[in-house]
């Protein structure tokens, strides 16, 4: 029975999960959980990467009680990075994608290369948080870039800290807006346009590559045996996609958490005028698959509202907020969940009220009304993107697969089924962890391929089905939502 560790780092927390393959099922167990809290210093928002790595090492220590661990894999969010100097030292803590340094960088990039050409090379959704625009914000800071020898995206940085090896795993590289989506290599033209050196970017390796083992220094420090390090699909969305229990070739998915990533799986990039107009991204995955998707705001809106209410002295659990939302009247107000005023931390409830005032809607006052507004708006946003995907691919889809922590919101799952008029297959909630573990087992030869992995995960995890209901009222509300959000 092979045991491996998945380190899964999200925007607010991280965990070490032990996975075990036995009798054609994967069992998972959390052995260590830790906070991931960004730190604001003199106007810059940083990730506390040294603390995160310390916590990951504590995960290895705790794993000793589990028996022999053969492998570990790391997945994280996309686009952010650390810079190493020529001696392999980290120049500074990685900067958070919500930092303000990229404000205006999309326009600045358009003065160096047309945004149309940039999209047609990279196939990436144009978002100012992307790595290319973060780097562009550093071009005027010659001190930092002149000292930088290697850029490592977040999962690659942790793999480096474990092994001393510098690589760029394919899925995480595809989030940068620096990769030629069709050639599947760094784009010389884009890199030159951004004003950075091509030598800054390491060799790209396929998802699921065993890159080495933990260093002797770590083995001695923690008193652990040798453990292989597998470059799983480092972008958590792509690890999650491995765990979608779809049997059909063409399917829709939502990886739902702080962000919602919605799309379909293709064999090759889909980059054309229609895709550009809708601003879809083509993200690389395991086996060279392409996730044709859009990055959407997800349950960040509920999470940040909850944090604000706590600051006001009112602590609510997520289940309490859902009950409050269910007890309020339906379809009273809607928001564009991806509108820029909702992107930054702070008093989101008041920003939602102000949006509703400006658009002439009933203003949601109570936490329940706010949460209902968010969930209905999210489900309608999914409907809009679903229609865009069908328009671009020319395909129809029988059902919608939802995975990730967001499916713990039964309210959101039910609303999504109703809004999208599709059967929703929800699960696994731990899709990213299952996918991370499955890719390690594929790399070790214990699972044959992606199809086998999805079948095994489908047998291993809890799956729930939601059917659409009350179609006439939901359809009428969707038309009102479109009129409000434009």
**pLDDT of 11:** 85
- Number of domains forming the structure of the chain: 2
- On the question of pLDDT at 142 being above 80, the answer is no
The tokens of 392 are what? Answer: 């671009």
In a domain, residue 187? The reply is yes
Give me the pLDDT at residue 370, please: 98
Report pLDDT for 388: 98
pLDDT digits (tens, 9 = 90+) for 320-350: 999 999 999 999 999 999 999 998 889 999 9
Domain presence at residue 440: no
With vertex at residue 27, the alpha carbon angle to CA 452 and CA 216, rounded to the nearest 5 degrees, is 95
Residues 206 and 134 in one domain: yes
pLDDT at residue 12, as a whole number? 86
Residue 240, pLDDT score: 96
- Contact predicate 281/293, CB 8 Å: yes
- Domain with 313, as residue range(s), is 244-429+448-486
Strands 185-186 and 179-180: antiparallel
Tokens of 321: 């907020």
Task: Work out the mean pLDDT of the chain and round it to a whole number.
Answer: 96
pLDDT per position as a tens digit, 108-141 = 999 999 999 999 999 999 999 999 999 999 997 7
Q: What is the pLDDT of residue 344?
A: 86
pLDDT, position 144: 87
pTM greater than 0.75: yes
With respect to residue 239, please indicate whether it lies within any of the assigned structural domains: no
> What is the predicted pLDDT for the residue at 130?
97
153/301 same-domain check: no
- Tokens standing for residue 384: 């809009």
What is the predicted pLDDT for the residue at 141?
Answer: 75
**435 in a structural domain:** no
**What does the alpha-carbon distance between residue 54 and residue 80 come to, in Å, rounded to a whole number?**
19
The reply to whether 442 falls in a domain is no
| pLDDT for position 74 | 98
CB burial of 261-299 (b: ≥16 within 10 Å; e: otherwise) equals bbbbbbeebbbeeebbebebbbbbbbbebbbbbbbbbbb
Q: Is residue 441 part of a domain?
A: no
Same domain, 248 and 224: no
Question: Using one digit for the tens of pLDDT, what is the confidence trace for 63-102?
Answer: 999 999 999 999 999 999 999 999 999 999 999 999 999 9
My answer on whether 368 and 291 are in the same domain is: yes
> Is there a cis peptide before residue 428, judged by omega within 30 degrees of 0?
yes
348: CATH: 3.30.420.40
User: Does position 2 have pLDDT exceeding 90, yes or no?
Assistant: no
- The model's pLDDT over 286-311, given as tens digits with 9 standing for 90+, comes to 999 999 999 999 999 999 999 999 99
Residue 231: the pLDDT is 98
Could you give the angle at which helices 348-358 and 367-393 cross, rounded to 10 degrees? 70
Least confident of 73-77, 254-258, 317-321: 254-258
- Considering the domain architecture, whether residues 226 and 253 belong to the same structural domain is answered as no
My answer on whether 214 and 328 are in the same domain is no
Does residue 227 sit in the same domain as residue 270?
no
Structure tokens at 296: 């959407």
Which pLDDT score, from 0 to 100, does residue 140 have? 79
193/44 same-domain check: yes
Per-residue DSSP letter, 90: B
> Residue 375 falls within a domain, yes or no?
yes
Question: Catalytic site residues?
Answer: 236
Q: pLDDT > 70: what percent of the chain?
A: 100
pLDDT in tens, 208-248: 999 999 999 999 999 999 999 999 999 999 999 999 999 99
For residue 366, what pLDDT is reported? Answer: 98
262 and 205 in one domain?
A: no
| Number of other residues whose CB lies within 10 A of the CB of residue 22 | 10
Local structure of residue 95 (DSSP, 8 states): B
């Amino acid at each position: 029975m092979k045991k491996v560790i998945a380190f899964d780092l999200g925007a607010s927390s991280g965990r070490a999960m032990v996975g075990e393959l036995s009798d054609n099922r994967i069992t998972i167990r959390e052995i260590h959980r830790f906070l991931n809290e960004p730190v604001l210093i003199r106007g810059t928002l940083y990730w506390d990467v040294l603390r995160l790595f310390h916590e990951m090492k504590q995960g290895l220590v705790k794993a000793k009680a589990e028996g022999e661990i053969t492998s570990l894999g790391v997945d994280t969010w996309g686009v952010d990075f650390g810079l190493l100097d020529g001696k392999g030292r980290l120049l500074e803590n990685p900067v958070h994608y919500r930092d303000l340094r990229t404000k205006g960088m999309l326009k600045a990039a358009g003065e160096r290369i047309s945004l149309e050409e940039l999209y047609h090379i990279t196939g990436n959704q144009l978002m100012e948080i992307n790595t290319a625009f973060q780097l562009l914000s550093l071009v005027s800071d010659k001190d930092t870039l002149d000292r930088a020898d290697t850029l490592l995206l977040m999962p690659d940085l942790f793999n480096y800290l474990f092994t001393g090896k510098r690589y760029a795993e394919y899925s995480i590289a595809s989030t940068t807006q620096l990769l030629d989506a069709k050639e599947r290599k760094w784009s010389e033209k884009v890199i030159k346009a951004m004003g950075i050196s091509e030598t800054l970017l390491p060799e790209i390796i396929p998802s699921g590559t065993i890159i080495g083992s933990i260093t002797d220094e770590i083995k001695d420090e923690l008193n652990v045996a040798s453990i292989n390090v597998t470059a799983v699909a480092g972008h958590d969305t792509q690890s999650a996609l491995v765990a979608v229990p779809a049997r059909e070739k063409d399917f829709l998915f939502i990886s739902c958490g702080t962000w919602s990533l919605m799309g379909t799986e293709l064999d090759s990039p889909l980059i054309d005028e229609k895709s550009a107009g809708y601003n879809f991204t083509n993200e690389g995955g395991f086996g060279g698959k392409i996730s044709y998707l859009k990055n959407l705001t997800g349950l960040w809106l509920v999470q940040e509202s909850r944090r604000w209410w706590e600051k006001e002295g009112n602590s609510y659990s997520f289940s309490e907020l859902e009950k409050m939302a269910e007890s309020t009247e339906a379809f009273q107000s809607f928001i564009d969940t991806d509108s820029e005023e909702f992107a930054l931390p702070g008093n989101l409830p008041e920003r939602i009220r102000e949006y509703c005032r400006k658009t002439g809607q009933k203003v949601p006052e109570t936490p329940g009304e706010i949460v209902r507004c968010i969930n209905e708006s999210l489900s309608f946003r999914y409907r809009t993107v679903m229609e865009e995907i069908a328009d671009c691919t020319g395909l129809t889809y029988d059902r919608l697969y939802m995975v990730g922590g967001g499916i713990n919101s039964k309210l959101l799952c039910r609303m999504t089924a109703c809004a999208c008029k599709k059967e929703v297959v929800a699960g696994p909630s731990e899709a990213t962890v299952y996918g991370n573990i499955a890719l390690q087992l594929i790399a070790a030869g214990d699972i044959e391929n992606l199809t086998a992995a999805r079948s095994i995960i489908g047998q291993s995890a809890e799956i729930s089905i939601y059917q659409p209901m009350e179609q006439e009222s939901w359809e009428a509300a969707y038309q009102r939502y479109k009129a409000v959000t434009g």
